[in-house]
Amino acid sequence: MTLGDRLRRWREDAGLDQEAVASIVLVSQQTVSEWERDKSRPVARRAVRLAEALGIEEAVVLDAINEATTGRVLRRSAPHGASALSGVSIPEDFTDEERAMVQGYVDALSERRRGRVGDEPGSS
């Protein structure tokens, strides 16, 4: 099953049309159509809104995007004390800043999954 097939299935399971997904993810309906036809892929930064729109976990969307892009699935969790990126293949041409951004994103997702982010008083 291709990424496009998965996105279409998830969208249909959520009872949404492409326009509804597009408005939630902040892209055009044409972009959603291209994703579903495997003409293009969503970038990882769209995964949070895409997951919210489709009613599935962010990690599932990220894994599907990563698998379609690299042929590999991101590890969803790391052993206690290990780097959250152990076992993840980051392209060698990524700069140190880009690697830090990936690490920061993975750390933020890990913290969120453990319930530490968004639980503080005054956060929304």
Q: Are 22 and 62 in contact (CB under 8 A)?
A: no
Q: Is the pLDDT higher at 55 or at 105? A: 55
Q: Are 32 and 25 in contact (CB under 8 A)?
A: yes
- Report for 29-33, 74-78, 114-118: range of highest mean pLDDT: 29-33
User: What are the sequence ranges of the domains in the chain?
Assistant: 1-74, 75-124
Q: pTM for this structure?
A: 0.59
pLDDT tier, 74 (very low <50, low <70, confident <90, very high otherwise): low
Structure tokens at 81: 């004390």
Q: Give the integer Cα–Cα distance in Å for 34 and 84.
A: 32
Q: Which CATH class is domain 1-74?
A: mainly alpha
> How far does Cα 37 stand from its chain's mean position?
18
> How far does Cα 23 stand from its chain's mean position?
17
